[in-house]
Homo-oligomer: A and B are copies of this chain.
């Protein structure tokens, strides 16, 4: 628990919305750089040019501040990926094309630095080293994407596919996409010849879509042979 600003910095409450927003953005950066445990409210305040009383007033304590930062990050992720669930369920587009569009859009967004770097770093930290906020992130952000991707995968796999097969296939697709994000620094060291410009990212997306569609078609053919 943080002491009041009067005790530590001698400052007064600062109830302005502008200060709240500045603290939130500074906190996002500091939590992303250092993780929840190592980050200090003192450093966040210094970076935001706010006093500790403001954190106390707006967010109560470090946990409360982290919770708001994660909510802010989830909201931003939802906004950036907003078109995904709609695209994946759009019956006017062939399911193969919906899958291609999903992979390309997902990879562009996670690798192409459209989102501020601190945001995706924070989400990766939360995945690698979860806090109680992971459940919120799953409910608001990951679950709708998994569910919508499951609809396309089920169409592509055909009626013989079990729920487990649909689930594992969704994970095979997501796993290929997030690899380049989660292991980015190692990938740069291991494969210096792999570029990450816009055309390179589209090339990776084309590979993942082709790999996955080939796999799905082959599994569908196998299941139908077994049925017959």
Q: Contact between B219 and A168 (Cβ–Cβ < 8 Å)?
A: no
How distant is A184 from chain B, measured CB to nearest CB, in Å? 9
What is the bound-complex CA distance between A203 and B172, given in angstroms? 13
Q: How many residues on A have C-beta within 8 angstroms of the other chain's C-beta atoms?
A: 57
Q: Contact between A176 and B178 (Cβ–Cβ < 8 Å)?
A: no
Q: Which of A49-57, A71-79, A86-94, A207-215 contacts B (4 or more CB under 8 A)?
A: A207-215
Neighbour of A38 across the interface among B35, B183, B190, B213, CB < 8 A = B35
Instruction: Please give me the residue from chain B that is nearest to A177 by CB atom.
Output: B175
Contacts of A124 in B (CB 8 A): 128
**CB contact list, A156-198 vs B, under 8 A:** 163-165, 167-169, 171-172, 174-180, 182-183, 185-187, 189-191, 193-194
Neighbour of A35 across the interface among B35, B169, B193, CB < 8 A = B35
Q: Contact between A182 and B219 (Cβ–Cβ < 8 Å)?
A: no
Give me 18 other A-B pairs in contact (C-beta within 8 A), A35-B37, A128-B129 excluded: A35-B38, A124-B128, A127-B183, A130-B186, A138-B190, A142-B186, A164-B193, A164-B194, A167-B191, A168-B208, A171-B187, A172-B179, A175-B177, A179-B179, A211-B215, A213-B218, A214-B217, A214-B222
